[in-house]
Amino acid sequence: MYMKQCTIILKFAIIQLLVLREYEYLQHYYYNFEFNNNNGLVFCLVGGECKISKAWIGNKNYTWLRWAQKFGAATFELNIDFMETASHYRKFDMSTASYQYFTIEQVLADLQTFIEEMNKKFFKNVKHVGIYVVFVGALSACFRSKYPNMTLGAISS
């Protein structure tokens, strides 16, 4: 099995009071290309309740990895979590006032940036199937609606 934990520096922008501010942040992720048959299909597991782990991307008994094997998909795992793992939000304190930066629009833009960067790094002309777990499950429909050209589908648990 080829599985690797990586960190990539991504840029994100926050629009505040009509001023666009750009920041760089570290996005931690795992990838596993064991089942990839270069058919242009990528499954991206997005969580938000706990830190990413090898278990979620390495246990072939998990349903999403069974699908990846069946359909020949490459797989990624990342987390969108304001309080614990999204290091770019840590540029702000954890006060209630800072929650203005953690919006659905911001999370969707972060996911878009991640997909664009992974496509540049690993693929050409692929579409992702978003698999969203736990409390970020509602984002699957939002991302699919906002970025239909980037996704082939979305699954939510």
**Cβ 144 vs Cβ 156: under 8 Å:** no
Report the b/e string of 117-132 with b at 16+ CB within 10 A.
bbbeeebeebbbbbbb
Q: What is the mean pLDDT of residues 72-85?
A: 74
Asked if the model's pLDDT at residue 126 lies above 70, the reply is yes
Query: How many domains is the chain partitioned into structurally?
Result: 1
CATH code at position 27: 3.40.50.1820
* Full domain range(s) for residue 37: 3-156
Backbone angle region of 38, left / alpha / beta, with phi > 0 → left and psi within -120 to 50 → alpha: left
pLDDT in tens, 131-156: 776 667 778 888 888 888 888 888 88
Q: What is the pLDDT of residue 86?
A: 47
Whose structure tokens read 């699954």? 155
Which position has the higher pLDDT, 11 or 116? 116
pLDDT in tens, 69-78: 999 999 998 8
pLDDT in tens, 7-30: 555 555 444 444 445 556 667 788
